[in-house]
């Protein structure tokens, strides 16, 4: 019996760039690690090269491998996108559900994370996004400080998000472990990783300093693209 929360989540209109599995050379349908869209050193204004290698090449790669391992005995689940797995966890056999949820969530969150960062090039968000941020948070600086505060106050591992509700309201939320906003009926615009592995090498326990410096590497054109995508879908519901 699906919970009300899951029933709501399943009614999502299309998410951009769904993470679909593909056939590998041996003919197995598997999830794959997306290549970083830039060199590992590009995020140095906030994230050191060593952390990027550990985080993308090892941590994220391991999540993808464990997701494939968790799905190995279940051919009927292997062709689903990561989003489909997370939005309908009741179809996943109980014995593997915790593993699939956690590794699929890690794969989705990190894939989104790499794309919404990039070289510090001075680009800003589009006018529509900036106006919506002003409307929801008072000002752009107000938004930034509320986002950092939410991230600092989150206890333990998780993520801090800018997310859009079905009523088109922007919200700042945090999620636990590798939960994604789609699992609570919200559209993820961008998120920052609050796990210690994301910042510990350079910042040790100074999560606030990491969160403050992160603004230097946010890829605002990509964040804007995601916001406009969701806005369009919500204004013109699919038939
Ligand atoms: Mn991470």
What are the pLDDT digits (tens) for 90-137? 999 999 999 999 999 999 999 999 999 999 888 899 999 999 999 999
> How far apart are the CA of 91 and the centre of ligand 1, in A?
26
> How far apart are the CA of 127 and the centre of ligand 1, in A?
30
Residues 6 or more apart whose CB falls under 8 angstroms from that of 138 comprise none
pLDDT at 233 over 90: no
- % pLDDT > 90, the chain: 86
Predicted pLDDT at 191:
98
If you average pLDDT over residues 8-25, what whole number do you get? 76
> How far apart are the CA of 194 and the centre of ligand 1, in A?
8
pLDDT at 46 over 90: yes
pLDDT at 141 over 50: yes
Residues with CB under 5 A from ligand 1 (ion): 193, 195, 198
> How far apart are the CA of 135 and the centre of ligand 1, in A?
31
> How far apart are the CA of 238 and the centre of ligand 1, in A?
33
Quote the CA–CA distance of 46 and 210 in Å, as a whole number: 7
> How far apart are the CA of 162 and the centre of ligand 1, in A?
17
> How far apart are the CA of 222 and the centre of ligand 1, in A?
19
Q: For residue 239, name the pLDDT band (cuts at 50, 70, 90).
A: very low
Alpha-carbon dihedral angle through residues 134, 160, 56, 50, given to the nearest 10 degrees: 90
> How far apart are the CA of 212 and the centre of ligand 1, in A?
17
Ordered strands of the 158-164 beta sheet? 170-176, 158-164, 187-193
> How far apart are the CA of 113 and the centre of ligand 1, in A?
9
Predicted pLDDT at 146:
98
> How far apart are the CA of 56 and the centre of ligand 1, in A?
8
pLDDT at 43 over 50: yes
Predicted pLDDT at 234:
86
Predicted pLDDT at 13:
63
Predicted pLDDT at 82:
96
If you average pLDDT over residues 200-222, what whole number do you get? 98
> How far apart are the CA of 64 and the centre of ligand 1, in A?
12
Residues 6 or more apart whose CB falls under 8 angstroms from that of 112 comprise 188, 190, 191
pLDDT at 3 over 60: no
pLDDT at 6 over 80: no
> How far apart are the CA of 81 and the centre of ligand 1, in A?
20
Quote the CA–CA distance of 179 and 101 in Å, as a whole number: 8
The mean-pLDDT minimum among 10-14, 141-145, 165-169 falls in 10-14
The mean-pLDDT minimum among 10-24, 56-70, 153-167, 177-191 falls in 10-24
> How far apart are the CA of 43 and the centre of ligand 1, in A?
15
Q: For residue 84, name the pLDDT band (cuts at 50, 70, 90).
A: very high
If you average pLDDT over residues 141-165, what whole number do you get? 98
- % pLDDT > 70, the chain: 92
Quote the CA–CA distance of 9 and 180 in Å, as a whole number: 11
> How far apart are the CA of 175 and the centre of ligand 1, in A?
13
Token pair listed for 210: 């990491």
> How far apart are the CA of 199 and the centre of ligand 1, in A?
9
Tell me the whole-structure pTM to 2 decimals.
0.93
pLDDT at 142 over 70: yes
Residue 147 is inside which H or E element, if any? Answer: helix 140-153
> How far apart are the CA of 198 and the centre of ligand 1, in A?
5
């Amino acid at each position: 019996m699906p919970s009300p929360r899951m029933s709501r989540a399943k009614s999502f209109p299309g998410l951009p760039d769904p993470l679909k599995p593909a056939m590998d050379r041996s003919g197995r349908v598997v999830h794959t690690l997306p290549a970083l869209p830039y060199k590992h050193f590009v995020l140095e204004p906030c994230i050191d090269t060593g952390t990027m290698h550990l985080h993308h090449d090892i941590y994220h790669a391991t999540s993808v491998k464990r997701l494939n391992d968790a799905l190995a005995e279940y051919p009927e689940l292997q062709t689903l996108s990561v989003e489909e797995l997370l939005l309908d966890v009741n179809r996943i056999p109980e014995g593997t559900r915790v593993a699939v949820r956690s590794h699929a969530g890690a794969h989705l969150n990190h894939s989104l994370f790499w794309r919404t960062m990039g070289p510090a090039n001075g680009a800003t968000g589009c006018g529509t996004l900036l106006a919506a941020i002003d409307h929801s948070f008072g000002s752009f600086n107000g938004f930034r400080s509320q986002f950092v505060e939410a991230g600092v106050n989150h206890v333990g591992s998780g993520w801090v998000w800018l997310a859009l509700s079905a009523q088109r309201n922007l919200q700042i939320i945090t999620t636990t472990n590798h939960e994604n906003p789609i699992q609570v009926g919200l559209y993820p615009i961008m998120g920052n990783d609050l796990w210690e592995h994301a910042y510990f090498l350079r910042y040790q326990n100074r999560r606030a300093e990491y969160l403050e410096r992160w603004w230097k590497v946010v890829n605002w054109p990509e964040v804007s693209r995601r916001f406009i995508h969701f806005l369009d879908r919500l204004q013109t519901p699919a038939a």
